[in-house]
């Protein structure tokens, strides 16, 4: 896929006329498919936006990783997180257009949603530890210790979460997802804020990446937390509306990040050429 072609796809999705065309097509689908109607149409459009934005972010994050001589692991974490985000969007679309998709698809969709948050948090952690310690920070947890703790939590999620989603009632699975997503959201945002406080990346592409990564992780985490509100007997219509808005925000923030990553990749490519 060429840079020009990718930008063209993203621009068509991001533009108002592009949204109108997509909405028109999905509205036709809603009349023939009982699984996609009303709020589901908006959810479908939002999921497509997230999918295209995740693909674009993955492409340009890897492009920056190829051209940068440092912080390559940060870009790879960003690419990994948006790849997982793309998988989440595909599974969400599958659920919307296939009413009888089943519990297994739903379980993997929730798991992908959670790991979207997890890998975004890990990308911020990686960037935090890639920077030198400032004098006023004192002692901090070593990177190896942080990685061991994270690995333990991730293994626990991989072992227990699918079982809970497949066996336990829907509300319990959503509640566990919300708690885990909230924990990793706070974990990632704390690293992001610490990076911004240092001001060592101010004015660089990494600074923009941190800003939009914080925005995306907050939005994705909020999706999981909002969906878990069904346990508190929140109105389903209100939950669905809020989730749709948050998904559009995720796509919008990622498209803004794509624009900056593309400029950086183009500049690095031009300098290398």
Q: Is the pLDDT of residue 213 over 70?
A: yes
Instruction: List, in sequence order, the alpha helices (H) in the chain.
Output: 3-14, 16-32, 39-67, 72-97, 103-130, 143-167, 170-198, 205-227, 236-272
Q: What's the pLDDT band for 257 if we cut at 50, 70, 90?
A: very high
pLDDT at 251: 95
Instruction: Give the residue numbers spanning the domain of 43.
Output: 3-272
Cβ partners under 8 Å of residue 45, min gap 6: 19, 22, 23, 26
Distance CA(107)–CA(18), nearest Å, equals: 31
DSSP letter assigned to residue 35: T
99-143 pLDDT per residue, tens: 787 778 888 888 899 999 999 999 998 888 877 766 565 566 777
Task: Check residue 16 and give its pLDDT.
Answer: 37
Q: Residue 9's pLDDT is what? A: 41
This prediction's pTM: 0.80
Task: Return the number of other C-beta atoms located less than 10 Å from residue 170's C-beta.
Answer: 12
Q: What pLDDT score does 147 carry? A: 83
Q: Would residue 24 be called left, alpha or beta, if left means φ above 0 and alpha means ψ between -120 and 50 degrees?
A: alpha
| Residue 133, number of CB atoms within 10 A of its CB | 11
So what's the pLDDT on residue 271?
A: 63
Q: What pLDDT does residue 17 have?
A: 41
CB count, 10 Å around CB of 147?
Answer: 14
Q: Which of 123, 126, 80, 57 minimizes the C-alpha distance to 264?
A: 57
Residue 53 is predicted with a pLDDT of 96
Residue 233: predicted pLDDT = 72
Quote the pLDDT of residue 113. 92
Position 2 pLDDT exceeds 90: no
We report the CATH number of the domain holding residue 148 as: 1.20.1070
- Taking only the tens place, the pLDDT of each residue in 16-72 is 344 444 444 444 444 444 444 567 888 999 999 999 999 999 999 998 888 776 667
Give the pLDDT of residue 89. 96
What burial letters (b/e) apply to 218-242, b meaning 16+ CB within 10 Å?
bbbbbbbbbbbbbbeeeeeeebbeb
Place 254 in a pLDDT band, splitting at 50, 70 and 90.
Answer: very high
Q: Give residue-wise pLDDT tens across range 165-174.
A: 666 656 677 7
Domain count of the fold of the chain: 1
What is the distance between the alpha carbons of residues 223 and 209, in angstroms, rounded to a whole number?
21
The arithmetic mean of pLDDT across residues 200-224, rounded, is 85
pLDDT tens-digit series, residues 172-210: 777 778 888 899 999 999 998 888 887 665 667 788 888
pLDDT at 3: 53
CB 123 within 8 A of CB 74: yes
Q: Taking a C-beta distance cutoff of 8 angstroms, is the pair 92, 160 a contact?
A: no
Give the dihedral sign, CA 191/156/220/231: negative
Q: CA 184, CA 180: separation in Å to the nearest integer?
A: 6
Helix (H, G, I), strand (E, B) or coil at 70: coil
- What's the confidence (pLDDT) of residue 27? 45
End-to-end CA gap in the chain: 20
236 compared with 44, residue with greater pLDDT: 44
């Amino acid at each position: 896929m060429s840079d020009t072609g990718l930008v063209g796809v993203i621009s068509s999705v991001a533009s108002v006329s592009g949204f109108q065309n997509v909405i028109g097509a999905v509205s036709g689908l809603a009349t023939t498919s009982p699984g996609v109607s009303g709020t589901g149409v908006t959810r479908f459009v939002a999921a497509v936006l997230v999918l295209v934005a995740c693909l674009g972010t993955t492409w340009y994050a890897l492009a920056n990783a190829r051209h940068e001589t440092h912080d390559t692991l940060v870009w790879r974490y960003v690419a990994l997180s948006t790849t997982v985000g793309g998988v989440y969007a595909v599974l969400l679309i599958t659920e919307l257009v296939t009413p009888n998709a089943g519990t297994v698809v739903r379980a993997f969709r929730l798991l992908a949603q959670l790991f979207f948050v997890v890998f975004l948090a890990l990308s911020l952690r990686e960037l935090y530890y890639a920077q030198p310690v400032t004098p006023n920070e004192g002692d901090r947890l070593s990177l190896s210790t942080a990685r061991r703790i994270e690995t333990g939590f991730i293994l626990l999620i991989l072992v227990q979460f699918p079982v809970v989603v497949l066996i336990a009632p829907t509300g319990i699975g959503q509640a566990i997802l919300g708690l885990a997503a909230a924990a990793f959201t706070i974990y990632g945002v704390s690293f992001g804020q610490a990076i911004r406080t240092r001001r060592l990346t101010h004015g660089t592409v990494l600074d923009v990446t941190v800003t939009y990564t914080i925005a995306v992780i907050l939005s994705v985490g909020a999706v999981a937390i909002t969906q878990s509100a069904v346990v508190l007997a929140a109105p389903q219509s209100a939950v669905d509306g809020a989730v749709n808005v948050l998904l559009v925000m995720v796509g919008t923030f990622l498209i803004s990040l794509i624009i900056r990553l593309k400029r950086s990749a183009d500049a690095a490519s031009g300098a290398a050429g």
